[in-house]
Amino acid sequence: MQIVVAHPDPGARRELRIALEDAGHRVHEAAGAEDALAACRAHAPEVALIGDSLAAPDGRSLLAGLKSDPDAYRTAVIVVAPAELSVPEAEATLRRGAHDLLFAPITPAEVVARVASASRTRILQEELVGQSRRLETMLHEDPLTGLFNRRYVLTRLAGLISGARRHGRPLSVAMIDIDHFKRLNDAYGHDAGDAALVATTMALRDRLRAEDELGRLGGEEFLALLPDASEHAAAVVAESLRASVEGVRTRVDGLELAVTVSVGWATWDGEEDADALVKRADNALYAAKNAGRNAVREAQELSASLPRRT
């Protein structure tokens, strides 16, 4: 295990270093806060033992520096404190980010045991953080394509509309649907359908800007969010999305399958909410399907009375 020992007293550093090295750990010493922080950044230690003078209650202390550093904050910190430290002072040190306190007089066995405990707790904390992130991903990500799911992409659209209204910026959306998807599934199986969905996702992503967002609404239907895209820009993007998928060839069990999409797009009118904007784009998509598929249609060209596609 990599460990940093930071203490202004050379004798205390030596005592800690010997106990830890005898237990098989690799120790890096530092006398002051600046050198200790540099050592933590360089060696990414699991644990740092620091003298209580380096954990003072101010923003310049080593403890504050470690907990605010984007790389070193993962290090578990044990503060080596004098026996006379008061209970309120000990509680304040823990609140500032210390994992544990080690009180004089120190025995080698206690040093090794506290370091092992701090390391285990650090590992458990990182596992909990990882589980939390995975759960968060599951809540907003489509598992097959890795795109935003329906709920999340529509929530994002509502946020983009709020920003567009506040800053007076354009905003467009594009509804995209894989042509004859049910026919493909029925003829070649669900594996072929999944492969077509993934291939389409990759083609669409390649044609979108970094600031654009893409979600899977369900089945074979996608929604692209195009912030700062005027009517002209949206028309160009929509045609680019259609053309990008038209060239896709998906191989399944030795078969090469061609995929095309229909696209309907709409530019926010400055007043409508997310549902109304998506509905206009969906009507445009219906018209693209009705025109023979592998086509692009603009919502503004359509009558609001058009029926929803089935």
The question of whether 220 is a catalytic residue gets the answer: yes
Q: How many residues does the chain have?
A: 310
Q: What does the alpha-carbon distance between residue 107 and residue 72 come to, in Å, rounded to a whole number?
A: 27
Catalytic residue among 29, 220, 246, 298: 220
- Could you give the C-alpha distances from 22 to 1, 27, 31, 182, 222, in angstroms and in order? 12, 11, 21, 67, 60
Q: What does the alpha-carbon distance between residue 236 and residue 174 come to, in Å, rounded to a whole number?
A: 11
**Residue 90: CA count within 13 A, CB half-sphere:** 12
Q: Yes or no: say if 269 and 288 are a contact pair by the CB < 8 Å rule.
A: no
DSSP code for 148: B
Residue in 8, 68, 59 with CA at minimum distance from that of residue 35: 8
- β-strands 213-218, 221-227 pairing: antiparallel
Q: Which pair of structure tokens corresponds to residue 274?
A: 């997310």
Tell me the catalytic residues.
Answer: 220
